[in-house]
Amino acid sequence: MALKDILPGKLGFGAAPLGNMFRDIPEAEARATVEAAWNDGIRYYDNAPFYGAGLAEIRMGAALADKPRGDFVISTKVGRIILDEIEDVSARDLGEKGDVFKYGRPNKIVNDYSEEAAYRSIEDSLKRLKTDHIDIAWVHDIAQDFYGDEWLAMFEQARRGAFKALDRMRDEGVIKAWGLGVNRVEPIELLLDLEGPRPDGFLLAGRYSLLDHDRALQRVMPKVAERGLGIVVGGPYSSGALVGGPNFEYAPATPAILAKVAAIKAIADRHGISMKAAGLQFALANPAVAAVIPGASRPGRIAEDRAALDEAVPVEFWRELRDAGLVNPAAPLPVTG
């Protein structure tokens, strides 16, 4: 089933912060954040076992337990099994994601993209999420940022294992759709070129944002649109860099990135629009994009995201960005303001 037929609206909820991403989020604040999303009308929630070693799924499951299950869509990920066994969190090798979830649960995380692990991962997620079904399953992080030179070997394990399992689950109605959930364009390119697997779409984090979209625009978006698949855009604010934060891609932003942010902000300020509106509306202007899922760690962020989606942005703003060379000339831009 096409992602656009499954997803209820253009704005979803990225649950990574619920796994204590970057900070120890109090239980009440995590619960209030999910409640704020629900009260705002958001009905698509994306999660993963990796987010705090199951913590984000547990928190989201508790927060949504009293909501009618037919009224919302859940996506989660496969590729990581969370064990009952405890490990030294500081000794985890998480590639570029280093200390992102050091405040999460200390349960041992095992990377496993086999067929058997895909089934086990879905079963475990169902328990943590307190639900009887998952709508969309993404194969998580089979890319360079996590596995370095080993990423192709991990991709091959998924090709022989998880991809087949998820095709079968989708055909049997256990899930409605599957694809990759990655922070890099290359694994999506690779999967689109394979003849066997039949993915329904992709969650692409950080690679189709105002600050970084060239490669996705050239290599992935046209193929996805051509095949009638869809992209869910994660990280539309580039780890917060676009909205004035210090990080880009889980690490301190470089001077070049900070300069680009300043140049975009100068134009945004001149037109009286918010950087969040620029980021969200840019991503959604591409016809391949089915939804965008900013991560929210505080209840107040939800209202900001909704306001950004609804904000009137003059077409002159987009023209100015293009004329200044701040967006790719081929990038689709919103035409109404």
Q: Could you tell me how far CA 195 lies from the centroid of its own chain?
A: 25
* 54: DSSP letter: T
> What are the residue numbers of the active site?
46, 51, 77
CA–CA separation, 30 and 15 (whole Å):
10
Task: Sort strands 136-140 and 177-182 into parallel, antiparallel or unpaired.
Answer: parallel
* String of DSSP letters for 206-222: SSSBTTB-HHHHHHTHH
Secondary structure of the chain: what % helix, strand, coil (to 5)? 45, 15, 40
CA–CA separation, 255 and 195 (whole Å):
42
230-234, strands of its sheet edge to edge: 13-14, 44-46, 73-78, 136-140, 177-182, 201-205, 230-234, 289-293
CA–CA separation, 113 and 121 (whole Å):
10
CA–CA separation, 318 and 312 (whole Å):
12
Q: Does residue 90 contact residue 38 with C-beta atoms inside 8 Å? A: no
At 284, the amino acid letter reads L
- Tokens representing 211 are 């600050």
DSSP SS3 for 107: strand
CB burial readout 252-274, b (16+ within 10 A) else e:
ebeeebeebbeebbebbeeeebb
CA–CA separation, 204 and 144 (whole Å):
14
CA–CA separation, 308 and 295 (whole Å):
14
Q: Could you tell me how far CA 146 lies from the centroid of its own chain?
A: 15
